Chain A
Amino acid sequence: EDQVTQSPEALRLQEGESSSLNCSYTVSGLRGLFWYRQDPGKGPEFLFTLYSAGEEKEKERLKATLTKKESFLHITAPKPEDSATYLCAVRGSNYQLIWGAGTKLIIKP
């Protein structure tokens, strides 16, 4: 069964304290792994797509990496405005998206 698990459920960091969010997946025929950011009261906003193991994408303080079993979203020297829920989704061979439950990130000043 295709599955996506995100950990931790919540993460509290001090401003400037770097860390990583994890997205573990099992899917037949990966057609892409996606990261989205969701602010309270808003819909998810697209961040990255990764297609193959070893691939990396960066945007400001965020870097996403991919292996055959998991993806990491690395956050370097985060700021309070990086506080949000980060969602991971994978697309398998049937082209439908399977979503994780998300990691709620809180950055304290």
Chain B
Amino acid sequence: DVKVTQSSRYLVKRTGEKVFLECVQDMDHENMFWYRQDPGLGLRLIYFSYDVKMKEKGDIPEGYSVSREKKERFSLILESASTNQTSMYLCASSPPGATNEKLFFGSGTQLSVL
């Protein structure tokens, strides 16, 4: 069964801390994505990657960075966590091609920044 695994289900951090969210997929997908999901809003794209070592900014990249050293792993980094980054973070992957239609999501990490 195909799987996208996010390392933490719940995370509580302090303002100013550096936070790492890890995502691993076992489907050999080229494309990986980080979204955040907030109540009353649609999913918003933070960063995405179409290949190892490659990254592209999404709609809301400010305050975030990413790392993709291996094909199966895509990490989201909050350089200095702030309270407005409290959110559900969703990682997704998909097969190659910009017009691919199906995203596979992890279960999400609920991050609280105090």
Listed in ascending order, the chain A residues whose CB lies under 8 Å from chain B are 4, 31-32, 34, 36, 41-46, 49, 87, 89, 91, 95-102
Contact = CB atoms under 8 A, between A and B. Distances in A.
Main SS of the interface on chain B?
A: loop
Contacts, number: 53
A36 B98 CA distance: 19
B7 to A, nearest CB: 14
5 contacts: A41-B107, A43-B106, A44-B43, A95-B99, A98-B42
Nearest to A4: B42
Interface in B15-63: 40-45, 58-59
B111 to A, nearest CB: 14
Interface residues of B, number: 23
Nearest to B59: A96
B49 to A, nearest CB: 14
Nearest to A5: B42
